[in-house]
Amino acid sequence: MKGRIVIDRELCKGCGYCISACPKGLITSNEDFNSMGYHPVVCVNMDECTGCGLCNIVCPDIAIEVWRED
Backbone torsions φ then ψ of 26, nearest 5 degrees = -90, -10
According to the model, what pLDDT value does residue 1 have?
73
According to the model, what pLDDT value does residue 70 have?
73
pLDDT in tens, 33-47: 999 999 999 999 999
User: Do residues 43 and 10 make contact, with C-beta atoms less than 8 angstroms apart?
Assistant: no
3-state helix, strand, coil in the chain (%, to 5): 20, 25, 55
Backbone torsions φ then ψ of 67, nearest 5 degrees = -125, 135
According to the model, what pLDDT value does residue 46 have?
93
Nearest C-alpha neighbor of 1 from the set 44, 52, 57: 52
pLDDT in tens, the chain (70 residues): 799 999 999 999 999 999 999 999 999 999 999 999 999 999 999 999 999 999 999 999 999 999 998 7
Instruction: Give the whole-angstrom CA distance, residue 50 versus residue 38.
Output: 27
The domains located in the chain, with CATH, are: 2-69 (3.30.70.20)
